[in-house]
């Protein structure tokens, strides 16, 4: 039982990060139909810039804040200089642009920062908490609480503010949104900024546990994309569920099958789910006009 | 139309023969051989992406199957290299058939993530089954011997790869002009409309998926034989992305585009190595720039510009 709990908590922690990355994918996709493969680089930028700002003598809370601001700036620049000029391009061209952006950001990070692994001190020490026989790092609780807070804040923002409603309207129907006076271009820019912020926070929270380096983004983008698709692209709830599920799958298959094949098991399950539910767990079917 | 295509092929053949006259060293033959090998894989993927309109983010999985076929076949199974190329192609075709049958029902980004998953699975198996594959370090590949002729050296491989690419290109062009090719174009425009017209959408997509897998497999075999070594990286996610980038960059639906796309993405990193640390930044910037300003791909964009000038 203790073993199951142990895998459960480690899966939940990693899954929370996947969920945040998937949420970033979903926000940008909903506003602009772009699958942003640079989403993982936001996570890397959040963690790495905090580490380097802190090592320059800035207190960690301030460094983290600056790192989030910096990542938002990168997200906005990505939208302004790479996505906006390519408006109207096909889906696969837009994907290639974001992949180009992620190669660029990784290349820039290895120059501005370095190629080593870095860590941050955890918020509440390293003494593990005992929960039903399982050892849980306090930082895991911080990650989960942080992820939950982000999800709630995002929900409040989308559901309770006028700008949030404009985001929803843009996701539902871009032309109609423009006709009622919503500046959809600004909304897409906003979605890039929010996604960047979410990614950066995820990167800062997870760094004390998993460490960070200039190239952690690729794998996270891949997992986040898979999680978003598992949940059903376009569904925020689906992204969160998909992320947590993916984290659990990896943790349990690492524990009970083989740690070498944990990712293989995760992808086999994703394939199986998609075959049974071609729109993902919570995605809606699209009616094609001919 | 046919004479037009033949003329284009003649141009490509002429370039293949004439360009080596400018090569100052064997290194250039090496880069040239790599261009044709990747162009072969890109041509196959282009049939799937450019004509059938289906994206695959896991095509490097088939590169891996082909690459390891020529490593494992001669080493453990006693099959000569040339037979292993065919065996790898057959296996890739079979795997594509078995995998494609269920996943090609998925659409758009769902198909992308399913193919991505397939590619990741192949890479994981190649990395972990160390008893057969040598694990993350890969394994060495015996030289190809054809009727006592040892195929080795950059210059020889340049010609072998070039001829194979031409054959692959001719076959691809023939396929495009066949009923299957027209059915694929109809599927690209609208799956619903083409199925109403009596096109067996699932079957046609599966056929082209299998064909594109065989192209990638042969390219993978060549790559492994040429390098004399193969590692699991050959089937990694970044390789798959590279293949997609070649197709999109050169021009979807253009066979000549596959060659141009492969040439750009093979030659560019070679020249960028002199930038050392800045290599990846510049590569990323150029990829973004190409995609933003030549979003139809290099060959179709140039063709459109030429056509405008003529009129």
Q: Alpha-carbon distance A246 to A12, whole Å?
A: 9
Q: Residue A260 is encoded by which pair of tokens? A: 């070498």
Cβ contacts below 8 Å, chain A against chain B, sum to 132
Is the distance from CB of B8 to CB of B259 less than 8 angstroms? no
Residue A2: other Cβ atoms inside 10 A: 12
Is the distance from CB of B44 to CB of B215 less than 8 angstroms? yes
In B246-275, the residues whose Cβ lies within 8 Å of chain A are: 248-249, 252
pLDDT at A287 over 70: no
Which has more confidence, B311 or A55?
Answer: A55
Buried b (16+ CB within 10 A) or exposed e, A142-155: bbbebbeebbeebe
Q: What pLDDT is attached to residue B141?
A: 84
Q: From chain A, pick out residues whose CB is under 8 angstroms from the CB of B251.
A: none
Residues forming a β-bridge with A131: A134
Contact A274 B121 (CB under 8 A): no
Closest chain A residue to the Cα of B127, Cα to Cα: A260
Q: Alpha-carbon distance B220 to B88, whole Å?
A: 9
Residues forming a β-bridge with B146: B149
Helix pair angle (A184-210, A39-55), 10° resolution: 60
| B279 has a chain A CB within 8 A of its CB | yes
- Closest partner residue to A222 (CB to CB) among B118, B237, B277 is B237
Q: From chain B, pick out residues whose CB is under 8 angstroms from the CB of A85.
A: 292
Q: What pLDDT is attached to residue B144?
A: 78
Closest chain A residue to the Cα of B280, Cα to Cα: A107
Chain-centre distance for alpha carbon B238: 14
- Using pLDDT thresholds of 50, 70 and 90, give the confidence band for residue A288: low
Longest dimension (CA), chain A: 61
pLDDT at A129 over 60: yes
pLDDT tens digits for range B27-41? 888 899 999 999 999
Percent of chain B with pLDDT strictly greater than 90: 31
Residue B11: other Cβ atoms inside 10 A: 11
Contact A274 B291 (CB under 8 A): no
Residue B121: other Cβ atoms inside 10 A: 21
Pick the range with the lowest mean pLDDT from A224-238, A260-274, B4-18, B281-295: B4-18
Contact B110 A233 (CB under 8 A): yes
Q: Alpha-carbon distance A43 to B265, whole Å?
A: 28
- Average pLDDT of chain A is 89
Is the distance from CB of B187 to CB of B194 less than 8 angstroms? yes
Q: Is residue A127 part of a domain?
A: no
Closest Cα of chain A to B299: distance in Å?
A: 15
Is the distance from CB of B205 to CB of B52 less than 8 angstroms? yes
Pick the range with the lowest mean pLDDT from A93-102, A175-184, A251-260, B270-279: B270-279
In terms of phi and psi (left: phi > 0; alpha: psi -120 to 50; beta: otherwise), the region of A131 is: beta
Per-residue CA distances from A194 to A173, A198, A228, A237, A290 (Å): 20, 6, 17, 17, 35
Q: Is residue A132 part of a domain?
A: no
Domain count, chain A: 1
Contact A93 B248 (CB under 8 A): yes
Among A202, A192, A218, smallest CA distance to A41 is for A218
The DSSP-derived string for A200-211 is HHHHHHHHHHH-
pLDDT tens digits for range A252-274? 988 888 888 888 888 888 888 88
| A130 has a chain B CB within 8 A of its CB | no
In A90-129, the residues whose Cβ lies within 8 Å of chain B are: 90-93, 95-97, 99-108, 110-111
Closest Cα of chain B to A83: distance in Å?
A: 8
pLDDT tens digits for range B128-157? 888 888 888 888 888 877 777 777 778 888
Q: Alpha-carbon distance B195 to B191, whole Å?
A: 6
Residues 6+ apart with CB under 8 A from B175: B47, B181, B208, B211
- Closest partner residue to B128 (CB to CB) among A106, A226, A261 is A261
Kindly report the pTM of this predicted structure.
0.88
Contact B284 A101 (CB under 8 A): yes
- Average pLDDT of chain B is 87
- Closest partner residue to A107 (CB to CB) among B109, B120, B280 is B280
Q: Residue B24 is encoded by which pair of tokens? A: 């100052």
In this structure, what DSSP letter does residue A280 have?
A: T
Closest chain B residue to the Cα of A231, Cα to Cα: B110
Closest Cα of chain B to A129: distance in Å?
A: 34
Q: Alpha-carbon distance A196 to A110, whole Å?
A: 19
pLDDT tens digits for range B171-185? 998 888 888 888 888
Domain holding A235, by residue range, is 2-120+137-276
CATH value at residue A27? 1.10.3470
Q: What pLDDT is attached to residue B92?
A: 95
Q: Is residue A126 part of a domain?
A: no
Q: What pLDDT is attached to residue A286?
A: 60
- Closest partner residue to A93 (CB to CB) among B103, B196, B291 is B291
- Closest partner residue to B109 (CB to CB) among A97, A229, A268 is A229
In B281-300, the residues whose Cβ lies within 8 Å of chain A are: 281-288, 291-292, 295
pLDDT (mean) for B175-199: 83
């Amino acid at each position: 039982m203790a073993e199951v709990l142990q895998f459960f908590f480690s899966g939940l922690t990693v899954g929370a990060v996947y969920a945040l990355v998937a949420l970033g994918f979903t926000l940008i996709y909903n506003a602009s139909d772009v699958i942003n493969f640079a989403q993982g680089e936001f996570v890397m930028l959040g963690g790495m810039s905090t580490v380097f700002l802190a090592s320059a003598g800035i207190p960690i809370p301030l460094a983290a804040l600056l790192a989030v601001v910096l990542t938002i700036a990168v997200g906005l620049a990505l939208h302004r200089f790479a996505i906006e000029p390519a408006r109207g391009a096909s889906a696969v061209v837009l994907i290639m642009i974001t992949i180009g952006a992620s190669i660029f950001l990784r290349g820039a990070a290895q120059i501005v920062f370095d190629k080593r692994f870095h860590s941050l001190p955890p918020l509440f020490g390293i003494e593990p908490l005992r929960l039903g026989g399982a050892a849980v790092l306090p930082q895991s609780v911080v990650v989960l609480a942080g992820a939950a807070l982000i999800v709630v804040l995002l929900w409040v923002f989308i559901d309770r503010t006028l700008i949030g409603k404009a985001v929803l309207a843009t996701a539902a129907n871009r032309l109609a949104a423009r006709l009622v006076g919503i500046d959809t271009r600004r909304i897409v820019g906003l979605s890039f900024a929010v996604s960047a912020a979410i990614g950066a926070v995820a990167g800062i929270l997870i760094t004390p546990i998993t460490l960070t380096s200039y190239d952690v983004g690729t794998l996270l983008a891949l997992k986040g994309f898979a999680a978003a698709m598992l949940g059903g692209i376009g569904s925020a709830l689906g992204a969160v569920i998909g992320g947590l599920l993916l984290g659990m799958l990896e943790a349990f298959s690492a524990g009970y099958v083989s740690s070498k094949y944990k990712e293989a098991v995760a992808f086999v399950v994703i394939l199986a789910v998609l075959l049974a539910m071609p729109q993902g767990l919570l995605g809606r079917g699209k009616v094609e006009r001919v | 139309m046919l004479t037009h295509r033949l003329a284009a092929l003649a141009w490509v053949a002429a370039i293949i023969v004439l360009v080596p006259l400018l090569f100052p060293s064997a290194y250039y033959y090496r880069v040239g051989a790599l261009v044709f090998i990747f162009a072969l894989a890109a041509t196959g993927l282009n049939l799937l992406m450019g004509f059938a309109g289906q994206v695959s983010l896991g095509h490097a999985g088939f590169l891996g199957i082909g690459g390891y076929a020529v490593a494992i076949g001669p080493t453990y199974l006693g099959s000569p290299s040339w037979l292993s190329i065919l065996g790898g192609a057959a296996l890739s075709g079979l795997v594509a058939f078995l995998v494609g049958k269920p996943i090609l029902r998925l659409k758009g980004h769902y198909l992308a993530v399913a193919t991505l998953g397939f590619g990741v699975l192949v890479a994981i198996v190649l990395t972990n089954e160390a008893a057969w594959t040598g694990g993350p370090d890969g394994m060495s590949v015996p030289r190809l011997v054809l009727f006592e002729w040892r195929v080795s050296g950059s210059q020889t491989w340049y010609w072998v790869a070039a001829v194979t690419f031409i054959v692959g290109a001719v076959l691809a062009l023939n396929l495009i002009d066949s009923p299957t090719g027209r059915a694929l174009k109809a599927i690209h425009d609208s799956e619903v409309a083409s199925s109403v017209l009596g096109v067996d959408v699932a079957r046609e997509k599966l056929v082209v998926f299998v064909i594109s897998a065989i192209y990638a497999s042969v390219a993978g075999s060549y790559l492994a034989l040429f390098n004399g070594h193969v590692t699991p990286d050959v089937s990694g996610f970044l390789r798959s992305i590279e293949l997609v980038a070649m197709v999109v960059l050169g021009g979807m639906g253009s066979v000549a585009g596959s060659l141009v796309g492969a040439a750009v993405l093979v030659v560019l990193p070679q020249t960028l190595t002199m930038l050392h640390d800045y290599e990846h930044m510049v590569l990323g910037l150029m990829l973004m720039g190409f995609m933003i300003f030549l979003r139809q791909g290099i060959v179709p964009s140039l063709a459109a510009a030429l056509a405008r000038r003529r009129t």
